[in-house]
Structure 1
Amino acid sequence: MYPQRIEPQPGQESVWDYPRPPRLEDTNKHIQVIFNGVEIVNTRHAKRVLETSHPPTYYISPTDIKMEYLVLTPQSSFCEWKGRSGYYTIRVGEKEVQNAAWFYASPTRAFADIKDYVAFYAHFMDACYVDGEQVEPQPGNFYGGWITSDVVGPFKGIPGSWGW
């Protein structure tokens, strides 16, 4: 059974209006990622993936990331829409989190524009921001969407949502 869609207010988007298969789009929103007190991302040139029932996932070009803090891991997973992903451990000083960010080295044709772009799990970071607003991680620790006040759900990842 699908959940009851929350009606968006002016200036908001409902994740239930996002498409399936997902859509990729450019965004000029100000994206920041902080880990162990260091700002490792600060850009207005990100891309976001919008998929039914999921808050947006933001992908950042490696040119806008302090890549010296990312260490490639052997972890991989598969997305039916984007293809095989690779993962990074984030390490700043003595603090590190394994598989805290992911990317697609050879994405499907529909997602070719995010080749090597990196997405971060917000729940592993000190803070992630979209236009100055600290994001809330998508529930469930499996998905990587970022929830802000301009996006309404309910969101996949909450208890009982696995079958949506």
Structure 2
Amino acid sequence: MSGHQMPATESVWDYPRPPALLRETRRITVECGGDVVADTTKALKILETSHPPVFYVPPDDVRTDLLRAAPRRSWCEWKGSAEYWDVVVGTDIRPLAAWSYPAPRPPYELLIGHVAFYAGRVDRCTVGGCTVLPQEGDFYGGWITPEVKGPFKGGGHTHGW
């Protein structure tokens, strides 16, 4: 047996409701259209029952010049009103690839200015060097890493969850 350790596993069914907001020190990257759109070791993450984690990148670590405001809004019962962003790299446009909370409700105020990305709408997202898998469905934006175990909310078969 080698000295390399696998990360401990965690079940999304052990995550809290209302969601927990935690600091994430592993390196988070987002790549799209040949550019690095986000790169940080200062992300925030939301852990919510039945969902893989959502990572929010601070504005200083996001190429905001590659974001274009989109006309979509949504409402989270915990965090409030979300605004959406297209990622635009030259002629490569990824509609609704990111979102943020301009005025999150307490106790989520730390999310102000931070940007989350849909892993399935950009080319690659990583956590600690590991490429993530996107959460199923077209609304939730969780990132699935090897240590996170489901089943996960999001697919068509989970509407009643």
TM range (shorter): over 0.9
Residues 70 and 11 of structure 1: is their aligned pair in 2 closer, same or farther, counting only changes over 3 Å? same
TM-score between both structures, scaled by the size of structure 1: 0.92
Q: How many residues matched?
A: 156
Q: Indicate the residue corresponding to 1:107 in structure 2.
A: 104
Q: Indicate the residue corresponding to 1:76 in structure 2.
A: 73
**Which structure 2 residue ranges, 5 or more long, are not aligned?**
1-5
Give the CA deviation at 1:10. Answer: 6.5
Q: Indicate the residue corresponding to 1:138 in structure 2.
A: 135
Partners of 1:83 and 1:103 in 2: how far apart? 10
Match of 2:114 among 108, 112, 117: 117
Aligned pairs (5 A) from 1:1-164: 11-164=8-161
SS at match of 1:109: coil
Q: Which amino acid aligns with 2:41?
A: R
Give the CA deviation at 1:74. Answer: 2.1
Partners of 2:88 and 2:32 in 1: how far apart? 8
Deviations 1:95-124 (CA, angstroms, capped at 9, x unpaired): 001211000011001110001210000100
In angstroms, what is the RMSD of aligned CA positions?
1.2
Give the CA deviation at 1:158. Answer: 2.9
CA contact (8 A) 1:58 1:119 kept: yes
CA contact (8 A) 1:70 1:89 kept: yes
Q: Which amino acid aligns with 1:79?
A: C
Residues 158 and 47 of structure 1: is their aligned pair in 2 closer, same or farther, counting only changes over 3 Å? same
SS at match of 2:65: helix
Runs of 4+ in 1 over 4 A off after TM superposition: none
Partners of 2:95 and 2:137 in 1: how far apart? 17
**Which structure 1 residue ranges, 5 or more long, are not aligned?**
1-8
